[in-house]
Structure 1
Amino acid sequence: MTSLPMAPPSASPAVEEDAQDARHFIVDGMDCASCARTVEQVVAGLDGVETVRVSFGNSTLVLRGDVANDTVAAAVRRAGYVAHVPGAVRGPQAPFWRRNRRTMSTTASVALLLVAVALSLLGANDAVADGAFLASMAAGGWPIALAATAALRRRVLDMNVLMTMAAAGAVAIGDFAEAAWVLVLFAIGTTLETFALDRSRRAVEGLMDLAPPEARVVTDDGDELVPVDDVAIGASVLVRPGERLPLDGTVVDGRSSVDESALTGESVPVDKEPGDKVFAGTLNAQGALTVHVTTSAAGSTLARIAELVADAQGSQAPAERFVDRFARYYTPLVFLAAVLLAIVPTAAGGDFDTWLYRSLALLIVACPCALVISVPVSVVSAIGGAARRGVLIKGGQALEDLGRVSVVALDKTGTLTKGRPEVASIVPVNGLTEEAVLRLMASIERSSEHPLAAAILRAAEIRSIRPLATSDFEAVPGRGAHAHVEGRALWAGGPRMAADHAAALPASFDEAEQRGETAVMLGEGDTVLAVFGLADELRPEAPAAIVRLRSAGVARIVMLTGDSERVARAVAQRTGIGEWRAGLLPEDKLEAIRSLGTGQAIAMVGDGVNDAPALAGATVGVAMGAAGSDIALESADVALMGDELERLPEAIEHSRRAVRIMRQNVVVSLATKAVFVVLAPLGFVSLIAAVAVDMGVSLLVTLNGVRLLQTRRQDPVVAAEPAASGCSDGCCSDGPDA
């Protein structure tokens, strides 16, 4: 399963392929990392190939270069495997016994072995029985021998080489039955492993099947069914009740409820109306929708998630890198021990057949099949299982990091709250009316993209107040904004902005914060004209999610916010968080992450946009509500596709379980190897027992890893009633000081 010490490095550098130039293939039959290395080296040797990367985890081959697909497929076939382009008709549509060349050869070998055993039991002539055993070996062993030959040509010592040598040695000493059993059991084991691995690898392939192949495009002559790949961006498509959306877009007509559970994991349908985003693959539950297409089929959120998950499944976890390093030394050493076991005792006068037999048993034990497959199958299954629940974990490193998180830092706005603040109170100062100050405030904020500005504008719209013309607008990050309104130099912001203008905070500012509202002021020079209290509704599931995080083993939970100390305290008390840091600018949040994460794994949870520096600075960056957000999908280590905070503790629990299963698999594999490395030289292990145990443990760790496809969702935790506070139902939002 590993390269010999003198093996040359792979001819293909691990580079990032240009998505437009790279070609992708699916490689069937690989059941070890060494198999992938052999395929990679074989393809790298083809004329015209610039770069090639083969991933055992997700069974893919990605190459760049001027080489025909048929040439690539032929090279992979010479290495003992099958390559085809994605989307081609695949074997699993056929019965299991003829899905590909390896399964057909395995089926034939089993049938011939049963015939050989029957002949032996019936007392047939030895030549007839041995001929049947040899036929069984030929049927089941030729793909193994083919792969072994390709590996040896590139000086790679993998399990195909070891099993072929063991079978050949058994034939050399005349033990045809054991030789046949070795190859047939090995073929059966690798075939079953491949089936189990394929189940994990294809866990999210069904996502792409959710999007219909055709879209009902609205034209001047009526509706027309068009393949989704041919639908132009900007076209309008009609989605009837009960149909799945074919492409990402924006609703332009109609109202309905859309089931987005396949994408986000959220079980409750989401109401959609004109202006709302919708995603390919989601189910239109009721009401017809006309959707303005905003992305191509290949660029849809669904397609990008499937691609990101496939890439993540092909990544290496730290535990896998450890196993590879171990196997790189273990396999050659045990192989050398097997050779010495056959030579030294024989040279000392021992029986050659006896010591060769024992060395062959040790040779089989040298194959670290279970060990090298133990971690990849767990990573692939864990990432696939998480994706089914609306959690995108971007690689084995992120999976392990999330599994050891002990500190969780949570942004407030959009994470603990719904991220949609509303104006809760308006207190004019110096005798102005509410309508007058709201008109001035809306005039300033009409040019701002801040969530609080949107709340001000909504309040003005509800009261039918039209903003005035402005000039010289300037947003001041972390403070607020300036603008000239009808010749008046006005400012809007929090305490920092007021301090910049030497304006005293009115009593109404403190009163708003005591109510748990985010206080924003309208000012002119050193005079405050009004105080606006804004409230952001707390997520109802937030307290229960905090309780669940603690039960998942998170030792420390901290809230980070740009809001004031009073607002932060109110939200913390309502959610049950005991530690918070308030008044933070974006760079302050990054410094907070660095100080919190000293010597510990820390997860930062935010919206993936405003909190980008803090997300990048944490051990694990977790983005909330990532569906439809390119920045969140690309920047975060873990993306919660839906907007449900309860997905966070689920993801941490799932990752901890994955790490436990990886450790279990590695321990079982190493313990088994240790026992049989000792027993084989002592003559207590037959060839059949050696290969049966080796394949049995491989299947055991594979099935143990595949369990991670099923995520565990516990019943909702009923959180204890948080301590009373002065915060109203509409807590709270990062203000202009954020």
Structure 2
Amino acid sequence: MDEAVLYRVHGLDCKNEVAALTRELAPLVGEDNLAFDTERGMMTVAPQKPVVADVIKDAVARAGMRAEPWAPQTASSTFVNPTFQQEDLACGCGAEVQEALSPPIPTHLSGQIVFRIHGMDCADEIAALKREVGPLVGEDKLAFDLLNGRMSINATPDAALEARVEKAVARAGLRAEPWTEGGTSEAAQAEERRKRTQMWLTTASGALTALGFAVHAWLGGGVVAAFEAGEHALGSTPLPSMLLYAVAVLCAARYVAPKAWLAAKRFRPDMNLLMMVAVAGAIGIGAWFEAATVSFFFALALALEAWSLGRARRAVAALMELAPPTARVKLEDGSERDAPAAQVRVGAHIIVRPGDKVPLDGRVVTGESEVNQAPITGESVPVFKAEGDEVFAGTINGEGAIEVVTTKAANDTTLAQIIRMVGSAQSRRAPSEQWVEKFARVYTPVVMGLAIAIFLAPPLLLGSAWDVWFYRALVLLVIACPCALVISTPVTIVAALAGAAKQGVLVKGGTHLETPAHLKAIAMDKTGTLTEGRPQVVEIVPLGSRSETELLGLAAALESRSGHPIARAILAKAAELKIAAEPAEAVQAITGRGVTGQVAGREMWLGSRRYIEEQVNSPEVLQRADELSSAGRTIVAVGDGQDVWGLFAVADAVRPEAKDIVSALHRSGIEHVVMLTGDNRATAEAIAKQTGIDEVRAELLPGDKVAAVEDLVRRYGSVAMVGDGVNDAPAMGRANLGIAMGAIGSDAAIETADVALMSDDLSKLSWLVRHSRATLAVVRQNVAFSIAVKLLFTALTVIGLASLWGAIAADVGASLLVVLNGLRLLNRGQTSTQKGGSIRRRWRSSVPA
């Protein structure tokens, strides 16, 4: 393989550009030799043979972008591992090590500014940032990654703009700093200290409230008197309890009051202002116990929200730790050296020892082993790997040592893509999440207006007591706080995304998580989706007195040096049956018909049906060939002179589980399953008959597939497209939901898709539909429960049966219940029957031939 070259591609920032570049460059260098990093606008090209840089640039220009070779600024930047640098240079192998290493990739992406936002933990902070930063850059240019506390702006990096943005973030009560991948800045450490302090203050608030209540009960005549004290006149709380309650309020309000003050200054009421008004009002009427209780429970609700988000963040951090930081690089002289995985070039050879984690994506070149792929694909059974098989970074090698040639850089491995996709999932918010956010935005000021009306109307219109209705207005403010409503949906969506990832189903954001629940039709590509994606010899028909072994040996000899898919199928069948054959001599290809060559001194040929018709013209053989091809198979004959020795039927084998999968889709509510293929109609019809497909559309070009998907969208409204190749990418982009086969799928298909099946297990399709519906059901349950609690306590407040401490207890209880209900989706797996079938299939695939 020629040395890999790194290009900076201006304009490369999303999956559509990746698909366009793949279409232009794949014919030049091969799709397997391309790797893209959209986050940094980089492209790696590792062709099998040298390609002029100008040819690459012209191809990129045809895709509407501009490429330039990227090189490190200094020579020293290509090599940063001091543990072995001097030793390698001293022994004369430093140049070889540098050949295997790749220069560090720049962390800044042209056209985008990324900030770490300290204190961004919930939708309230995002809303505040939109209000402050949106007018500066345009709200449509803002994107938020709540999981990683990150804000992105689609704008050209500019020091003056960055300074203005940082000031705007400060006005929102938060702190911004330029994002550094993997960096731990002083500000980040300060943020961690702030969180620890907030936790201790919340704990102290609860302890002081409990102590104040105990003192009150001891000095004031018992527990009942202490509960009722809040509704009596100022001064009914003993001074020691009052002091304890006051300190409890201050501890809980330390990080809430500044945000409430900012909301008040901008006349934009939010939950923080709502709580502080309720606390101040309770103190004003002498309800110290209730003021302290409200403060503590609200601080506890914030802690619950941070905990649920922190759990998701820790899951992503655990993903980052899956891949080892170093790789064992094999040099040209056969020696081995440890090197940083981030600097190993595409095309380098690495050694993975027994029990080690695989550091980079690659292809096995020597050795055999079983590899545990559960961290990436969700497969519970180790998969047998031998020469030519793909391995993924982060997977765990078994008992055999393997040598792997790397196919992707560290920042572009399947694991790295999963981490980026999971990390950015919250920037693509689900429709239900957007609805809740908009609802809460209107809901809060309406509730404050209603509380004011409840406080003023009865005393002014009916002559009721001011203190009674003031207290009831405070209770309404507390119970109306939309904490549970706002927390429930993002927690549910994050839990559902993480639960899907555990099953090997990578959903690229909440916006795509709800779509499967509404699907009415699913379109599937044939090759690589319903079928295995590679031709196999499915039948051998000897003629005369010949045997299958004799035919395979002859065909393998003629095809031993061919890279044609049918040749690979014949050679694979010969290897399976342990038939060894010496390569034929004087082999000549007959374009579109077959090959001729000398085997053991005899002139032999291997050809298609057309070759039989033109050269042999045997009606009996042609009839037998037509019988075999009627099932959609490709026929190859082998013989000598005018004599046909036998026939091979070659076909793309249907996945064993395909029929059960189509049935499961129908049972899960999918009305119509359609096959879209570029193959001939006879083959497509035969496979559809085997699998139970409802409709077949064959002999389609990529543009025809797009038209077919558009027709299905018009007929059924909500349609998914499942594919694995570059030719499927346009149709996947047009469908309501694009689903890629993650393990065998092309980079363009995976980038274009909204969902990737990392284990290529189609049984996950019906699971995804059910999981999506379960997610929507949990969201509806949480929203309905939250609003029901609000309505119930609103009615109790108006008739005087609710108290402040009861309202906050109900509000926090509701928050806790909806969080726990949402987190159930983390561990939502398949049924035991489905798991058993899936495990059996994986076991079969893991057994070596």
TM-score, normalization: structure 1? 0.79
Matching residue of 1:325: 438
Residue 666 of structure 1 aligns with an amino acid whose one-letter code is V
Residue 285 of structure 1 aligns with an amino acid whose one-letter code is G
Q: CA deviation at 1:483?
A: 11
Asked whether 1:577 is paired with 2:690, we answer no
**SS at 1:611 equivalent:** helix
- Equivalent residue runs for 1:499-648 within 5 Å: 507-508=623-624, 510-518=626-634, 533-597=649-713, 598-626=715-743, 629-648=746-765
Conserved 8 A contact 1:256-1:284: yes
**SS at 1:298 equivalent:** helix
Asked whether 1:660 is paired with 2:777, we answer yes
Matching residue of 2:246: 134
Q: Residues of 1 paired with 2:654 and 2:586: CA distance?
A: 30
Q: Residues of 1 paired with 2:165 and 2:338: CA distance?
A: 36
Q: Residues of 1 paired with 2:458 and 2:164: CA distance?
A: 49
Asked whether 1:171 is paired with 2:261, we answer no
For the structure 1 residues 367 and 627, does the alpha-carbon distance in structure 2 shift closer, same or farther, using more than 3 Å as the test?
A: farther
Conserved 8 A contact 1:548-1:717: no
Conserved 8 A contact 2:587-2:595: no
Q: CA deviation at 1:608?
A: 3.9
Matching residue of 2:342: 229
Q: Residues of 2 paired with 1:442 and 1:593: CA distance?
A: 39
Q: Residues of 1 paired with 2:141 and 2:678: CA distance?
A: 47
Conserved 8 A contact 2:492-2:825: yes
Structure 1: runs of 5 or more not aligned: 1-15, 474-480, 487-491, 499-503, 523-529, 721-738
Matching residue of 1:115: 211
For the structure 1 residues 160 and 466, does the alpha-carbon distance in structure 2 shift closer, same or farther, using more than 3 Å as the test?
A: farther
Conserved 8 A contact 2:635-2:647: yes
Q: CA deviation at 1:102?
A: 2.2
Conserved 8 A contact 2:528-2:744: no
Asked whether 1:375 is paired with 2:471, we answer no
Residue 426 of structure 2 aligns with an amino acid whose one-letter code is Q
Q: Residues of 2 paired with 1:373 and 1:675: CA distance?
A: 20
Asked whether 1:66 is paired with 2:178, we answer no
Q: Deviations over 1:6-50 (max 9, x none)?
A: xxxxxxxxxx98663456566565553122222455677999x99
Q: CA deviation at 1:106?
A: 0.6
Q: Residues of 2 paired with 1:53 and 1:632: CA distance?
A: 24
Number of residue equivalences: 675
For the structure 1 residues 705 and 605, does the alpha-carbon distance in structure 2 shift closer, same or farther, using more than 3 Å as the test?
A: same
Conserved 8 A contact 2:724-2:745: no
Q: CA deviation at 1:65?
A: 5.0
Q: Deviations over 1:151-200 (max 9, x none)?
A: 34444322111111111111122222111111101111221232123223
Aligned partner of 1:302 among 415, 437, 441: 415
Q: Deviations over 1:693-732 (max 9, x none)?
A: 2222122111111111113221345999xxxxxxxxxxxx
Matching residue of 2:519: 405
Matching residue of 1:185: 297
Q: Deviations over 1:394-425 (max 9, x none)?
A: 12221111122122222222112211112456
Structure 2: runs of 5 or more not aligned: 1-37, 42-107, 221-236, 544-550, 598-606, 614-618, 639-645, 838-849
Matching residue of 2:127: 37
Paired-residue identity, %: 41
Q: Residues of 1 paired with 2:836 and 2:129: CA distance?
A: 53
Q: Deviations over 1:234-281 (max 9, x none)?
A: 443221100101122233332222111210112232232333332210
Q: Residues of 1 paired with 2:572 and 2:268: CA distance?
A: 67
Aligned partner of 2:314 among 197, 202, 207: 202
Conserved 8 A contact 1:608-1:615: no
Q: CA deviation at 1:120?
A: 0.8
**SS at 2:256 equivalent:** helix
**SS at 1:280 equivalent:** coil
**SS at 1:420 equivalent:** strand
Residue 555 of structure 1 aligns with an amino acid whose one-letter code is E
Q: Deviations over 1:617-640 (max 9, x none)?
A: 322111113467421321111110
For the structure 1 residues 70 and 664, does the alpha-carbon distance in structure 2 shift closer, same or farther, using more than 3 Å as the test?
A: same
Q: Residues of 1 paired with 2:309 and 2:526: CA distance?
A: 40
Matching residue of 2:548: none
Q: Deviations over 1:630-671 (max 9, x none)?
A: 213211111101122222222222122112111211221222
For the structure 1 residues 235 and 425, does the alpha-carbon distance in structure 2 shift closer, same or farther, using more than 3 Å as the test?
A: closer
Conserved 8 A contact 1:560-1:589: yes
Q: Which moved more, 1:197-206 or 1:381-390?
A: 197-206
Q: Residues of 1 paired with 2:306 and 2:744: CA distance?
A: 32
Matching residue of 1:356: 470
**SS at 1:553 equivalent:** coil
Q: Residues of 2 paired with 1:215 and 1:554: CA distance?
A: 46
For the structure 1 residues 210 and 44, does the alpha-carbon distance in structure 2 shift closer, same or farther, using more than 3 Å as the test?
A: same
Conserved 8 A contact 2:363-2:405: yes
For the structure 1 residues 83 and 286, does the alpha-carbon distance in structure 2 shift closer, same or farther, using more than 3 Å as the test?
A: farther
**SS at 1:537 equivalent:** strand
Q: CA deviation at 1:512?
A: 2.2
Q: Residues of 2 paired with 1:637 and 1:300: CA distance?
A: 18
Q: CA deviation at 1:304?
A: 1.1
Aligned partner of 2:382 among 258, 269, 274: 269
Conserved 8 A contact 2:609-2:622: no
Q: Which moved more, 1:188-197 or 1:74-83?
A: 74-83
**SS at 1:536 equivalent:** strand
Aligned partner of 1:148 among 260, 267, 282: 260
Q: Which moved more, 1:180-189 or 1:67-76?
A: 67-76
Q: Deviations over 1:314-333 (max 9, x none)?
A: 32111122222322322222
Q: Deviations over 1:420-479 (max 9, x none)?
A: 1124569999xxxx99x9899979x9697xx557547878998645796679x8xxxxxx
Conserved 8 A contact 2:345-2:409: yes
Conserved 8 A contact 2:521-2:720: yes
Q: Residues of 1 paired with 2:745 and 2:316: CA distance?
A: 18
Aligned partner of 1:689 among 799, 806, 815: 806
Q: Residues of 2 paired with 1:190 and 1:256: CA distance?
A: 48
Q: CA deviation at 1:351?
A: 2.1
**SS at 2:654 equivalent:** coil
Q: Residues of 1 paired with 2:674 and 2:255: CA distance?
A: 56
Q: Residues of 1 paired with 2:159 and 2:488: CA distance?
A: 36
Q: Residues of 1 paired with 2:407 and 2:458: CA distance?
A: 74
Q: CA deviation at 1:393?
A: 0.8
For the structure 1 residues 126 and 667, does the alpha-carbon distance in structure 2 shift closer, same or farther, using more than 3 Å as the test?
A: same
Q: Residues of 2 paired with 1:549 and 1:173: CA distance?
A: 62
RMSD, aligned CA = 4.5
Asked whether 1:710 is paired with 2:791, we answer no
Conserved 8 A contact 1:417-1:539: yes
For the structure 1 residues 164 and 55, does the alpha-carbon distance in structure 2 shift closer, same or farther, using more than 3 Å as the test?
A: farther
Q: Which moved more, 1:172-181 or 1:147-156?
A: 147-156
